[in-house]
Amino acid sequence: MGGSTGSSRGRRGGIVGINVTPMVDVMLVLLVIMMVSATYIVSRALKVELPRSASSDEAAQGPLTVTITKEGQTLVNQEPVAGDAGLIAIFQKAKSAPGEPSIVVTADGGALHKWVVHVIDVAKQQGITKFAISVQAE
């Protein structure tokens, strides 16, 4: 009746579907890599010049940079500060200015840990809750 070729095809059947799971896996990996690299490139390369306005509200204040040297000297925005009283006065002034104040603590590698903690503690006592510790990438 039919040839052996025809009967074997009928029983075996043709390719019904293609397995797309490996292709989806590869595409998802490529998508994640593209998203991560695009975010990194945009954050590094995108520089815009903001428009200026004479009637806008006061600009939000930038963060205060508190530097602690290995000798224990404290500087705020590159200016020496005399003791806790000077720090408290600067932090209170920043708290009364418009916007939410923040500090960036930059400490020398040889500075004692207790000095860094003390500066952050004084800032918290004056109501400044946003702070960062500056480090250098290796």
Q: Within this chain, do residues 102 and 70 fall inside the same structural domain, yes or no?
A: yes
The first and second tokens of residue 81, run together, are 């500060």
Which pTM value belongs to this model? 0.54
- pLDDT tens for 45-97 read 556 676 776 665 555 567 888 888 888 888 888 888 888 888 888 888 888 88
- pLDDT tens for 88-137 read 888 888 888 887 888 888 888 888 888 888 888 888 888 888 878 877 76
119: CATH: 3.30.420.270
Q: Which domain holds residue 36?
A: 4-45
Q: Within this chain, do residues 68 and 128 fall inside the same structural domain, yes or no?
A: yes
Q: Is residue 97 part of a domain?
A: yes
Other CB atoms closer than 10 Å to residue 122's CB: what's the count?
A: 18
